[in-house]
Amino acid sequence: DAKTTQPTSMDCAEGRAANLPCNHSTISGNEYVYWYRQIHSQGPQYIIHGLKNNETNEMASLIITEDRKSSTLILPHATLRDTAVYYCIVRGTSGTYKYIFGTGTRLKVLA
Partner 1 sequence: EAQVTQNPRYLITVTGKKLTVTCSQNMNHEYMSWYRQDPGLGLRQIYYSMNVEVTDKGDVPEGYKVSRKEKRNFPLILESPSPNQTSLYFCASRRQGGISGYEQYFGPGTRLTVT
Q: Give residues in contact with partner 1 (CB under 8 A).
A: 32, 34, 36, 38, 41-46, 49, 51, 87, 91-93, 97-104
Burial degree of 85 (CB within 10 A; 0-12, 13-18, 19+): buried
Least distance to partner 1 from the beta carbon of 14, Å? 26
35: exposed, middle or buried (C-beta count within 10 Å: 0-12, 13-18, 19+)?
Answer: buried
To the nearest whole angstrom, how small is the minimum distance from the Cβ of residue 88 to partner 1? Answer: 11
Q: How far is the CB of 69 from partner 1 (least distance, A)?
A: 20
